[in-house]
Structure formats: structure tokens, C-alpha cells
Amino acid sequence: MSYHNLINRRKTTVTQWLSENYIEQQSEFLSYILFCQKEHNYPLSLIRNMNEISISFNLPNNTTVEQHSTKTISILSTEHECSNFTVILSYMADGTKLPSVIIFKLVNVPQEEFSDRVIVRTNSQGWMNENEMS
């Protein structure tokens, strides 16, 4: 590779930066939740923390071989980067882990077998809405 002036190149992306005061915002939010929990006497088993993430069906390789001096690198793909599904992970404040929820952007539930610890849903948008919350 060095004889032909080639190197391994990696795709880079622009990421979202945390605000400068994110620790302060995090502390304020936690204080607010604890205040509400004490004021209304909510049991910890009714307070949930959720994370919703979109996962792509197409996971193209992020590396390629290119000339050392090349400024822009093109990486081939199947053009299905937008085909994805949503995964929701949840814990209750008392430490209880809830079953994971997978939401496909489909009309019917896929016929594959899924674990008992996973709830599979479908909807036309492919993300969480009030129907998936129940």
C-alpha cells in the first residue's frame, strides 16, 4: 500500500455537541423529578427512564482504501441507510428493567421469532407514539 501511496481512510461524521452547562441542566432535571416524586408521593416504580434510538438495517463499512492526498472520500453503499427501526430501552426508578420495544416501519409484524424479553410493534412512521406506550 505504501508503494502506491495508499492508506486506510475512515468515514467521519459531524456529531451533536453537548451544551456547555449540560451537567447543571442534568442536576436541575434530577432535582425537579425528585421534587415531584416527593410532592405527589409517586412510588419509584412509576417513574421511568427511556432511551429511543434509531438503528439502520444497512450498516456500511466505514473504511476504504484511498490515495493519501485525497480530500473527499466516497464510500459505496446499498442506498438503504434510511431503512431503519426504532429500539426503546427502559428502566424504572426502582431498578426494574422493562422489556425492550422494537418498532418497525411496516404494516404487519415480521414473522421471525423474537425473544420473550422483546416487544415488537409496527407503525407507519416507525417510531414511538401513544399506541406503543400502552
Per-residue pLDDT tens over the stretch 29-84 = 999 989 999 999 999 898 989 998 888 776 666 666 666 677 676 666 666 556 78
Cell of 1: 500500500
Cell of 25: 441542566
> Around 54, how many Cα atoms within 13 Å sit in the side-chain half-sphere?
11
Q: Is the pLDDT of residue 1 over 80?
A: no
Instruction: State the Cα–Cα distance between residues 19 and 124, nearest whole angstrom.
Output: 33
Instruction: State the Cα–Cα distance between residues 8 and 1, nearest whole angstrom.
Output: 9
Maximum Cα interatomic distance, the chain, rounded to a whole number of Å: 71
